[in-house]
């Protein structure tokens, strides 16, 4: 048995795409959803019986899941966030598959490597984005943040990754050519119009992690500038593939059987095919 936990959780697309994958693979696994807030997480986790293989965790549980894990993979250690718990042999193995999901989907959109990049936003998702950019080969990243103090953790993480991180408030942002911009702003959030236009003028690919509010205000600016923009649905699928790998063997590096077909059926499940 597997579930996705969070609060809110009714909107989650994870049950749909996991069910599609399990059906293709011929596995009799079940995957449900449960509304769990941060205050209830530990109690709910301790109540699980041996029928549970693992959990997917979303807002606001990733930090609590990190604390509950007995062992974590490197992306989880770097970000302090776990979105996948594998329950096996008395252990709770923690993974952050958001990082690998971003990496795989950016590559799927034709960017095999980047030297410079930009992140819009400085919240928890920006941390995963920064680790993903390091894996993509970035050496310098500009973080666009209204409150530079909120980005201090990203600067410190950049030092651990041997990655130069600079922080720029939107009001002082200068136009610059950037091959990849990752927006981590919540759905519906927006930069001021003038700042959004300056960000978009840099061109390159906008990789917006949002998928429930599309197009985002920033994506509309990208379209007006004639530059490509993609949403986070591909990330959702590809991080879920890594979750299923972990649920199967405890190893996110071991591919699934016929994995290309798994990715395809999960992507089609998102649009109801």
Catalytic residues: 62
Collapsing DSSP to helix, strand or coil, 82 comes out as coil
Picking from 137, 226, 149, 214, the residue whose alpha carbon sits closest to that of residue 183 is: 214
Distances (CA, A) of 260 to 234, 241, 244, 245: 13, 10, 14, 13
d(CA 74, CA 85): 14
d(CA 66, CA 72): 8
How does strand 164-168 pair with strand 180-183?
unpaired
CB atoms within 10 A of CB 230: 19
Distances (CA, A) of 90 to 48, 50, 62, 111, 238: 12, 10, 20, 40, 28
- The residues with which 37 forms a beta bridge, in sequence order, are none
Residues in the chain: 273
d(CA 53, CA 115): 39
């Amino acid at each position: 048995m597997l579930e996705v936990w969070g609060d809110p959780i009714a909107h989650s697309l994870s049950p749909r795409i996991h069910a599609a994958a399990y059906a293709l693979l011929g596995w009799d696994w079940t995957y449900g959803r449960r509304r769990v807030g941060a205050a209830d997480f530990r109690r709910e986790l301790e109540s699980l019986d041996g029928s549970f293989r693992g959990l997917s965790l979303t807002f606001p549980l990733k930090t609590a899941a990190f604390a509950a894990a007995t062992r974590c993979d490197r992306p989880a250690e770097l970000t302090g966030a776990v979105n996948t718990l594998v329950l096996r042999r008395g252990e709770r193995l923690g993974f952050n598959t958001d990082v690998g999901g971003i990496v795989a989907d950016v590559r799927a959109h034709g960017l095999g490597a980047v030297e410079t990049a930009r992140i819009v936003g400085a919240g928890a998702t920006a941390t995963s984005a920064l680790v993903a950019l390091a894996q993509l080969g970035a050496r310098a990243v500009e973080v666009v943040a209204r409150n530079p103090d909120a980005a201090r953790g990203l600067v410190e993480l950049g030092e651990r990754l041997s990655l130069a991180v600079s922080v720029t408030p939107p009001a002082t942002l200068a136009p610059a050519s950037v091959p990849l911009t990752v927006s981590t702003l919540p759905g519906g959030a927006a930069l001021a119009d003038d700042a959004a236009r300056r960000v978009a003028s840099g061109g390159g690919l906008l990789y917006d992690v949002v998928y429930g509010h599309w197009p985002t205000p920033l994506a509309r600016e990208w379209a007006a500038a004639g530059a490509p923009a993609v949403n986070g649905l591909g990330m959702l699928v590809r991080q879920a593939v890594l979750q299923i790998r972990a649920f199967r063997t405890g190893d996110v590096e071991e591919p699934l059987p016929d994995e290309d077909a798994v990715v395809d059926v999960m992507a089609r499940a998102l649009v109801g095919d």
